[in-house]
Amino acid sequence: MYKIKIHNFEKKYLLDEMIRVFLSSDSYRILSDEEDFESDEVIHFNRSGSDDKNEIKREIYRTLSTLTSYEPEWGILTGIRPVKLWGETFEELGNRIQTRELMKDKFLLSEDKLELIEDVYNYQKSMIGGIDPNNSSVYIGIPFCPTRCSYCSFASNQVPDSEITLYFLALLKEIKEVGRMMKEYLIKPRCIYIGGGTPTTLSHTQLEELFCAIKEHIPMSRVREITLEAGRPDTITYEKLQAAIRGGVNRISINPQTMNDDTLKLIGRNHDTNMVRKAFEIAKSFSFDAVNCDIIAGLPGEDIEDFKHTIYEVLGLSPNNITIHSLAVKRGSKLIDIDRDYYHKVGKLVGEMLEFGRDVLGENGYRPYYLYRQKHMAGANENTGYCKDDAFCIYNMAIMDEHEDIVALGAGGISKAFFPEENRLERIPNVTNYQEYISRVDEMIERKKIGFANRRFNNAD
């Protein structure tokens, strides 16, 4: 058992996640300020008098890398938006070499990750341009799924249809009232994202009603992209996708996560790989501009061969977007109760999987177009969205860039009002619990009217 003593750094828990990338939680203990041991038994990390909060993190990284012979590629970077960080640093320094050197020295990023974030940044800039305060997006959340996956930490409820109907009615009200507000405040979105949960848990008639409400109430003149997450293949029917295409949806997401039946059972999904193939077949009956397929690296019981199998199977389905996630084991998931060290154990393996995925997707004409990181990701790796033939998702890029208004509707939606002069976002959250959302929908509407009120004056200028 390693004993670790941290000096002159109050928020020790901030360093704990970094230590756990290198060491399993039962192999070390952070000593309290009162505890003292003979110094040769203890690893000391000391923040000197400098203002640089990263200094102690670099010390931890270097010491534990030497101890474990493991060099995580993201260095000490814990932020979830590395591309945004690159962009802001580059805009400040005005020089890519200096940006690269600063990010490398400050955060100890590997050459490979520096290349990746610079490439994604340049691609995004060339495809959707820089900051434009007139841009905005709408998010609509449907927090229901047929079953709960073992790694899930999202708002996902398994409830009778009668509950979904009550939620749906409250959501329609919010769309109507907030749509009115958007018209008044001159907020004109360029994309709409319907996520969850699994939005295709709704019936096809509910989906039809949803799209009618969107068209009727949300300002549509600038909308270029409507995404519908049809995540769970077991919820997809011909009628639902027909309702989507008629409703203006041009991007859908069908998410098997793995193409191994044993793993699907193990993680609590309600479908097998045949249902995934069937869902893709149905999707091919319609001309969506983009079909995305999410997969996860590091699922329980999977080795590199299982992951390779998934990649090749997914390539066979020919989606033009593929998103590779690193498994994140968060609080609220069943997996963390089974093994809280899981994300540490599979760290290196997930790194290998991601590298394999990137190489093979590259050989098949896919390029990375957005990426983000989360807390508690296996090996502190990343999630990367790949696209083919420039069939990227504007919404995915925009929410990671955080330079525009996001109007979020439904339980768990977090709206963000953007103030360009201060480069600042103000969060306007809805409640997460769907029952509370139903009973407090008027309050959620009012919060947005107040939260976005200042944007009205900006847009009017």
Residues that bind ligand SF4 (CB under 6 A): 145, 148-149, 152, 154, 156, 196-198, 231-232
CB nearer to ligand SF4: give 106 or 148. Answer: 148
Is the separation of the CB atoms in 356 and 304 below 8 Å? yes
What is the nearest approach in angstroms of ligand SF4 to the Cβ of residue 229? 9
Is the separation of the CB atoms in 65 and 57 below 8 Å? no
What is the nearest approach in angstroms of ligand SF4 to the Cβ of residue 132? 31
Which among 413, 411, 439, 440 is positioned nearest to 428, based on CA atoms? Answer: 413
User: Within 318-346, where are the H helices?
Assistant: 334-338, 342-345
What is the nearest approach in angstroms of ligand SF4 to the Cβ of residue 311? 20
CB nearer to ligand SF4: give 156 or 381. Answer: 156
Say which residue the tokens 């109907």 belong to: 165
CA dist., res. 202 & res. 182, Å (int): 25
What is the nearest approach in angstroms of ligand SF4 to the Cβ of residue 130? 33
Helix (H) or strand (E) holding 196: strand 191-196
CB nearer to ligand SF4: give 156 or 292. Answer: 156
What is the nearest approach in angstroms of ligand SF4 to the Cβ of residue 175? 21
CB nearer to ligand SF4: give 79 or 332. Answer: 332
Other CB atoms within 10 A of residue 196 CB: 24
CA dist., res. 190 & res. 217, Å (int): 15
CB nearer to ligand SF4: give 223 or 409. Answer: 409
Q: Prior bond to 197 cis, omega within 30? A: yes
Is the separation of the CB atoms in 326 and 297 below 8 Å? yes
CB nearer to ligand SF4: give 141 or 179. Answer: 141
Give the angle 301-306-308 at the CA atoms, nearest 5°. 145
What is the nearest approach in angstroms of ligand SF4 to the Cβ of residue 273? 16
CA dist., res. 179 & res. 226, Å (int): 16
Is the separation of the CB atoms in 411 and 166 below 8 Å? no
Q: How far is CA 168 from the centre of its chain?
A: 24
CB nearer to ligand SF4: give 121 or 154. Answer: 154
Helix (H) or strand (E) holding 439: helix 434-439
- In Å, how far are 228, 340, 442 from 269, measured between CA atoms? 20, 21, 35
What is the nearest approach in angstroms of ligand SF4 to the Cβ of residue 145? 3
What is the nearest approach in angstroms of ligand SF4 to the Cβ of residue 144? 8
CB nearer to ligand SF4: give 143 or 189. Answer: 143
